[in-house]
């Protein structure tokens, strides 16, 4: 089932960003290094089009370094874009963002033309943690759930450097199915918008394709070559959760364990997607949307009464 989550405050955020953009010099988009493609908001790309962009892959300590390097190269190749990876709680890398923004807008700076930077991203990607690190004190609320920040705030990082922090925002329709699962697994989507077992199965499917040895080691499993995601989830339930009546595995509890282990890096440093894979998913979603649109148009045309014939 497709995962969608777009609470009312995100409509307000979209409007606020659109109104703020004319005066913004550089846009920082914070991405999740474990899912850089899925955590890039296409609606933000549209709203911030034409502005110099700094793509920041946060949570790099939780992601596969080789995959992070591929994603950095992918974003660096885009015009008017710089990319770097960091852990939002580390002070020195965070402070380098200020100079990176100045490099992207060299004609801005000084009290006459202060640098104005917008920082945005999906929910629970670490924006508030990064803002607090940049300021060196608690300036924004943080928490391990989506939707903590509710309103824009302006933060003065240096005398001529203004940072506008915006609430985390998804987009009204997540067309790429993989992205929906990855966003839910990362905690970017509200808990009421997805089924734990469904998301855990998608996670395990990715891990079986990429790092089956991690699952074997974490849950003390045997040979996984003949097992699919459902079988592995059942094994996790048998190994880690109290059994239900009749000795049945508790799949819901197993799903919670699997998602917690992903989020806490108990599986090790994991990246769920590569630039090439994400491009394929996006192309497939675009083709499916085009097919649906063509079918809808055909149905509408079929319903329109045909004019013609002889009339008195």
pLDDT of residue 303: 78
Token readout for 47 is 């709203």
Number of neighbours of residue 268 by Cβ within 10 angstroms: 13
**Region 90-97 average pLDDT:** 93
pLDDT of residue 84: 97
pLDDT of residue 146: 47
**H-type helices in 54-164, by residue range?**
65-76, 91-104, 127-135
Identify whether the C-beta of residue 181 lies closer than 8 Å to the C-beta of residue 2: no
pLDDT of residue 147: 47
- For the segment(s) 177-263, the CATH number from 3.90.226.10, 3.90.550.10, 1.10.1580.10, 3.40.50.1980 is 1.10.1580.10
How do residues 253-264 score in pLDDT, each as one tens digit?
Answer: 999 999 999 999
pLDDT > 70 in the chain, percent: 92
- Long-range contact pairs involving 224-229 (C-beta distance under 8 Å, separation at least 24): 229/201, 229/202, 229/204, 229/205
pLDDT > 90 in the chain, percent: 75
Token readout for 185 is 């697994």
Nearest to 39 by CA among 141, 149, 123: 123
End-to-end CA distance of the chain: 54
This prediction's pTM:
0.88
pLDDT of residue 307: 59
Q: Does the pLDDT value for residue 280 go beyond 70? A: yes
Is 73 strand, coil or helix? helix
Is 53 strand, coil or helix? strand
CA dihedral (144, 128, 265, 225) positive or negative: positive
CA gap 223, 240 in Å, rounded:
18
CA gap 67, 103 in Å, rounded:
26
The ranges assigned to domains in the chain are 10-165, 177-263
Token readout for 21 is 């953009």
- For the segment(s) 10-165, the CATH number from 3.60.150.10, 3.40.50.150, 3.40.190.170, 3.40.50.300 is 3.40.50.300
CA gap 30, 36 in Å, rounded:
9
Q: Does the pLDDT value for residue 139 go beyond 70? A: no
Buried b (16+ CB within 10 A) or exposed e, 291-302: eeeeeeeeeeee
């Amino acid at each position: 089932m497709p995962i969608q989550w777009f609470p009312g405050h995100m409509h307000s955020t979209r409007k606020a960003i659109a109104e703020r953009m004319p005066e913004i010099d550089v846009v920082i988009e914070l991405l999740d290094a474990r899912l850089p493609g899925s955590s890039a908001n296409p609606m933000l790309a549209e709203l911030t089009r034409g502005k110099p962009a700094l793509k920041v892959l946060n949570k790099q300590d939780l992601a596969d370094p080789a995959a992070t390097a591929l994603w950095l190269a992918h974003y660096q190749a885009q015009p008017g874009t710089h990319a770097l990876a960091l852990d939002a709680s580390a002070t020195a890398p965070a402070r380098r963002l200020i100079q990176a923004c100045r490099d992207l807008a060299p004609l801005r700076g000084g009290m006459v033309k202060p640098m104005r930077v917008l920082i945005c991203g999906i929910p629970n990607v670490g924006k508030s943690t990064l803002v607090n690190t940049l300021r060196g004190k608690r300036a924004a609320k943080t928490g391990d759930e989506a939707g903590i920040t509710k309103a824009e705030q302006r933060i003065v990082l240096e005398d001529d450097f203004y940072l506008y922090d915006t609430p985390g925002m998804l987009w009204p329709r997540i067309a790429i199915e993989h992205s929906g699962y990855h966003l839910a697994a990362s905690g970017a989507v509200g808990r009421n918008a997805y089924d734990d077992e469904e998301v855990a199965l998608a996670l395990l499917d990715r891990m079986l394709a990429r790092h089956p040895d991690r699952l074997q080691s974490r849950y003390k499993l045997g040979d996984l070559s003949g097992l699919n995601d459902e079988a592995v989830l059942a094994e996790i339930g048998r190994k880690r959760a109290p059994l239900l009546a009749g000795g049945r595995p508790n799949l819901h509890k197993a799903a919670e364990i699997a998602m917690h282990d992903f989020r806490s890096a108990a599986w090790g440093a994991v990246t769920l997607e590569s630039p090439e894979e994400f491009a394929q998913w996006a192309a497939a979603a675009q083709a499916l949307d085009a097919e649906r649109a063509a079918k809808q148009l055909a149905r509408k045309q079929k319903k329109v009464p045909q004019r013609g014939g002889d009339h008195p």
